[in-house]
Amino acid sequence: MSQRLNLPKSRRSICNLFADFLLTKIGLDSKTIIQVTDCNNFLVVNGMTESEDLLGIFTLKDEFNEKYKDLIDTPITHTFDLIKYGVEVSKKDMIQFTYYTTSENVSYHYSQLDCYSNNNIGSHYDGIKSKEEIENNFLSVCSEFPHGYSLNQGRLLYYYGKHISYNLSPSIAEPKINLTLTSNKLEEDKLVSVFTDNPYPDDKLKSYLLDTFNFNYEKLNREIKKVDLSLEITNPLQDFECLKRKVKLDPFI
């Protein structure tokens, strides 16, 4: 899996922003998945959560519109709440994600960041397109992972993968690396697999990463809950400092 980069005012970015906004009202530690779909005239909020407390989206949309009024060109007016409340949600304890170790933000290929800087961006899947082309070609757009996903739904693992990628030096890894991480306590290795296009053996790189990182997900959980998640959408060229923090054991830095 890899992530697409969207302009902050795009329809998809607003969906991502609203999904995270609603998620924070329930709690990052809850077992929750929220997906927001923009159908042009209204937003559909789908998903499931273990929480039994109804969100009251009709009121929350007004709070959202006010909080992000400088970003939203067209305020949200009509919403449909299709969230399933008070249901069992299984923890997602494994994730596979591709990171770009030489990029300013390792979630995105450097070419996406270049296009973003020129206000002209599409995605890995449909190429570089203008903002107008992106917004007009779809009848509906949806929020995407990790937005709307609580930390135990793979989001914390995704962040830890970013932390690893920021600590990799060019001497040991290719610009692209695919990591499979798990939080399953029954697994001996929290790093399930490593894949690169580098002739450097993947098993040797995996051994190095296991020796270098402590995979302290609990500590990162506490750090992430202190940050403003909206910055991932409103300022994607930057990233959270807790993810970029260098590990002391890395001899390659």
State residue 148's pLDDT score. 98
Which of 13-27, 103-117, 217-231 is predicted least confidently?
103-117
Which of 117-126, 183-192, 218-227 is predicted least confidently?
117-126
How many Cβ atoms from other residues are within 10 Å of residue 145's Cβ?
Answer: 19
Q: What is the DSSP letter of 84?
A: E
Q: How far apart are alpha carbons 26 and 19 in whole angstroms?
A: 11
- Kindly state the percentage of the chain with pLDDT values over 70: 86
State residue 249's pLDDT score. 54
- Kindly state the percentage of the chain with pLDDT values over 90: 62
Query: What average pLDDT does range 52-70 have in this prediction?
Result: 95
How many Cβ atoms from other residues are within 10 Å of residue 151's Cβ?
Answer: 24
User: Is the pLDDT score of 199 beyond 90?
Assistant: no
Angle of CA points 89, 95, 98, to nearest 5° = 145
Q: Can you read off the two tokens belonging to residue 88?
A: 């069992």
Pairing of strands 79-84, 94-100: unpaired
Which domains are seen in the chain, by residue range? Answer: 11-89+136-142 (3.30.300), 94-133+153-243 (no CATH)
Sign of CA dihedral 67, 73, 74, 76: negative
Radius of gyration of the chain (CA): 19
Q: Kindly report the backbone phi and psi dihedral angles of residue 70, in degrees, each rounded to the nearest multiple of 5, phi listed first.
A: -80, -10
Query: What average pLDDT does range 52-68 have in this prediction?
Result: 96
pTM, whole model, 2 decimals? 0.89
